[in-house]
With several copies, the nearest count.
Chain A
Amino acid sequence: MHMQQPDESGRFGDFGGRFVPEALMPACLELEAAFKEAWSDPAFVGEFRHVLAEFGGRPTPITHLSRLSDKLGVRIFAKREDLAHTGSHKINNVVGQTLLTKRMGKTRVIAETGAGQHGVATATAAARLGLGCTVYMGELDTQRQELNMFRMELLGARVVPVTSGSRTLKDAVNEAMREWVTCVEDTHYCLGSVMGPHPFPWMVREFQSIIGQEAREQMLSRGEGVPDMVVACVGGGSNAAGIFAGFANTTSRLIGAEAAGGAAVANGSPGVLHGMKSMLIQSEFGQIEEAHSISAGLDYPGIGPEHAHLAATGRAEYVPVSDDEVIPALQLMSELEGIIPALESAHAVAWIIREAGRAIPSGSSVLLNLSGRGDKDVAQVREMLKGQQ
C-alpha cells in the first residue's frame, strides 16, 4: 500500500534532496526528526486522524458518477475531497503540519498560496490551534482572489502581497522561504504541496495518503476491487500523491493530469528550485519559466520530486490537459452529476472524458480524485463563458 520512502538525503531516485540556504538547514533537519518521531507515535497519528474526522470531515465519501459513467462507457468513482473542510484536500496536510508545529513548540506558521486554497486551509488550521499565521500571496493573485484574501483575514491570518518576480505562486514560495529564514526559530513553514526541500515532499505525501487509504478501503468494501485507473490532477502533486499512495502497490494505472501550460513532466527537464531537484519548465538558459494555466492551483512550473521519480520509472503517467478542455469538463460534470468541480480537479475529469474508450478501455473502472469544489472558481468560469459568447 505504501509508496517508497525517500533515502537519507531525501531522494526519490534521482529527485528530491535539499537545496536551501544554510540558515534553513537546521530547521529542515529538525523538522525531519520531529516528523519521523511524531509519525511513529500512535498518539500523534491518532490525534491527526481524530482532528481530520471531527474537524475536517473525514472520511470523505466515494460517489459513483453514474450518469457520466453511462455517457462515457466507463465506470467512474469520485473520491470527494471537495467535501472536506475548506473545500479541498489541502486540509489534510495543514492539520498534520499545524499539529506538528505545536509539538515542536513553535507558535506560528507561514505559508505560500496561489489562488488561496492552501492559504485558507492553513489559516483555518492555525486558527483552530491558536497559532499565528502569515500567508504570502503573489500581488497579482491577491487582486484576482480578493475574497480568499479576506477569508484568510477573517480567520485571523495576515496576508502579505508579494511584489517580486511574476507576482504569482512561484514568487510567493520564494518569499515565504526568504521570510522563513528570518523567523525559523519560532515559526514553521507550512508548505502546501509535495514539494520543497526534504522532508516536505515526503511529509506532505504521508499526511495526504489518508485519501488513498480511505479510497482503497472504500473501493474494496463496496465490492469494486482496485480500480483499473486512478486519475488525479497535479500542480505540486499533493492530492495525486495522496490518492496514489493507496494504490501504488496494486495493478492500478496511476495517471496525473497536468495543466498543459505547466506540464513539468511532458515539457520540463530536471532542475533545482524551491529547495528540491525535480522536473521543471525552464528556458534554454536554466531560468525557471512561468507556468500558464486557467487554474491557479496548477499554475506552477514544477512538480513534486516523487512524481518526477514515478514518471522516470514509469510507475505513473503524467498527461497534459489544455485549458480548452477544462471548462467543458466542468460543465459536463456539473450538469450530469450535480458536482461543480474545482478547475484543478476538472483537469482530471477532462482527461477521462477525452480518453474514455481510447487510453481508457471501455468498461474500465476509474477512480477520480475530486480534489476540490468549484465554488472558488465560478466567478472566473462565468467571465470566461461570457467572453466566449
Chain B
Amino acid sequence: MKSLERALRQIRGEGRKALVPYFMAGVTPNWRDYVHAAIQGGADAVEIGLPFSDPLMDGVVIQEAGLRALNAGTTLASVCAELQQESFSVPLVAMTYYNLFHYDGLERAAGRLQQAGITGAIVPDLTLEESTHWRAVCASSDVATIFMVAPSTTSDRFVQLAAATEGFCYAAARMAVTGRAAGAGDAQRVVDSVREVSDVPTYVGIGITQPEQARESSAFSDGVIVGSALVARVLAGDSPVEIEGLIATFRDAIDG
C-alpha cells in the first residue's frame, strides 16, 4: 500500500472526513502560497493541476486557469522543480491528462512526481484498460494511481476500478465535466456502489461548490474534492489568506 492510501485511511480511521482542494499549478507566480494556505485552512490533501492544452474533463474555470498557467510557461518539469524546493504537511496529488506523462516518457514523468513529493496522480483520460503500462511504471515508485467512477459506471467496472484505484476512489457526483453544476447529484449512489465492492476511501467531486454541499456529500462518503469553486476565486484575485478563510468554512461545515 502506497503512502497516499495509508495516510488517507488513517484520516478515515480517525473519524475525520477528508477535504481535498484543487489548485492549478503556475496559474499565478505565487501559486504554491495557495497550497500552503489551503493546508493552513484545514485541507487533508491537495490536488495540483498540471496544465494541458486540451483539458477534456474540465469546464471553463479550470480551462481558463490552465491557459493562464500555460501562457506563463508552466510545464510538468517546472512544476515538479518548484515543488521540490518545499515541503508540505499533507499529501499532494497531481491531476492532469495522459499526454503530459506520455510525452515526457512514463518512467521519467513518474520519477519527477516522486521527487517533487507528489504521491498520487489523477489522469481522467487514462482509462483502466489503457493504464497497465503507467501502473507498472508506478509500481516501483510511491506514486498512486487514482481512478474515477461515474454515474454511468457499470457494476463490473465498479469492481475493477475500485480494485485498481490507489489512495482513494474519485466518485464523480454527476455526468459532467468540472465546474458545470453544483450539488451532490448522483454521488450517494456512486459512493454506495464503490462501498459494495471495496473499502477504499471514496471522495466525492464534480459539483462541490458550497460548504453546505461539502457537508452533505461527506456525510455518505469519506471526503470531498473542491475544485472550480476555489479556482474561480483564485482567478478573481483572492489572496492566499482569503483562500485560507474559504477553506476553513468548508472545513467547519464538514466537521460541524
Contacts and interface: CB of A to CB of B under 8 A. Distances in A.
Q: Are A and B close enough to touch in the complex, i.e. CB under 8 Å?
A: yes
A194 to B, nearest CB: 19
Given A9-B130, A21-B124, A22-B150, A271 B102 contact: yes
Interface string A218-259: 000000000000000000000000000000000000000000
Contacts of A20: 56, 125, 127
A164 B129 CA distance: 29
B109 to A, nearest CB: 9
The A interface is mostly helix, strand or loop, or mixed, namely mixed
Interface in A12-35: 17-27
A165 interface: yes
Interface in A97-122: none
Interface stretch (B37-45, B169-177, B213-221, B233-241): B169-177
Interface string B66-97: 01001000011100000000000000000001
B54 A273 contact: yes
Given A9-B129, A19-B127, A288-B54, A182 B176 contact: yes
A20 to B, nearest CB: 6
Contacts of A21: 56-57, 124-125, 148, 150, 177
A358 B147 CA distance: 53
B152 interface: yes
A356 to B, nearest CB: 38
Interface centre among B54, B70, B157 (most CB of A within 10 A): B54
B177 A178 contact: yes
Nearest to B103: A286
B104 A22 contact: no
A90 B150 CA distance: 33
Contact of A19 (B55, B104, B130): B130
A86 interface: no
Nearest to A170: B54
A181 B99 CA distance: 20
Contacts of A69: none
A17 B130 CA distance: 7
B154 interface: yes
Contact of B75 (A27, A272, A277, A285): A285
Interface centre among A18, A272, A280 (most CB of B within 10 A): A272
Interface string A258-293: 000000000001111111010010100111110000
Given A23-B152, A164-B60, A271 B103 contact: yes
Contacts of A288: 53-54, 99
B59 interface: yes
Contacts of A76: none
A95 interface: no
Contacts of B152: 22-27, 184-185
Contacts of A24: 152
A165 B176 contact: no
B183 to A, nearest CB: 14
Interface residues of A, number: 39
Contacts of B245: none
A272 B153 CA distance: 23
A26 B129 contact: no
A145 interface: no
Contacts of B127: 18-20, 22, 25
Interface residues on B, range: 35 or more
Contact of B124 (A9, A22, A286, A287): A22
B98 interface: yes
A285 B149 CA distance: 29
B254 interface: no
A30 to B, nearest CB: 9
Interface centre among A23, A171, A177 (most CB of B within 10 A): A23
Given A285-B76, A288-B99, A22 B149 contact: yes
A272 B99 contact: yes
A63 to B, nearest CB: 37
A174 B104 contact: no
B180 interface: yes
Interface centre among A19, A182, A270, A275 (most CB of B within 10 A): A19
Given A21-B124, A181-B175, A285-B77, A26 B56 contact: no
Nearest to A171: B54
A280 B102 CA distance: 12
Contacts of B52: 286-287
A170 B99 CA distance: 15
A185 B126 CA distance: 22
Nearest to B67: A165
Nearest to A290: B53
Contacts of B153: 22-23, 25-26
Given A9-B129, A182-B176, A287-B70, A22 B148 contact: yes
A27 B125 CA distance: 14
Interface of B: 52-60, 63, 67, 70, 75-77, 97-100, 102-104, 124-130, 147-154, 157, 161, 172, 175-177, 180
Interface of A: 9, 17-27, 164-165, 170-171, 174, 177-178, 181-185, 269-275, 277, 280, 282, 285-289
Closest 8 CB pairs of A and B: A286-B103, A23-B150, A287-B53, A285-B75, A272-B99, A19-B125, A288-B53, A178-B177
21 contacts: A9-B129, A18-B130, A21-B124, A22-B161, A22-B172, A23-B175, A24-B152, A25-B153, A25-B157, A165-B53, A165-B54, A165-B67, A182-B177, A269-B103, A272-B99, A272-B125, A273-B99, A275-B56, A286-B103, A288-B53, A288-B99
Given A23-B148, A178-B177, A282-B99, 4 more contacts: A22-B127, A22-B128, A22-B153, A272-B99
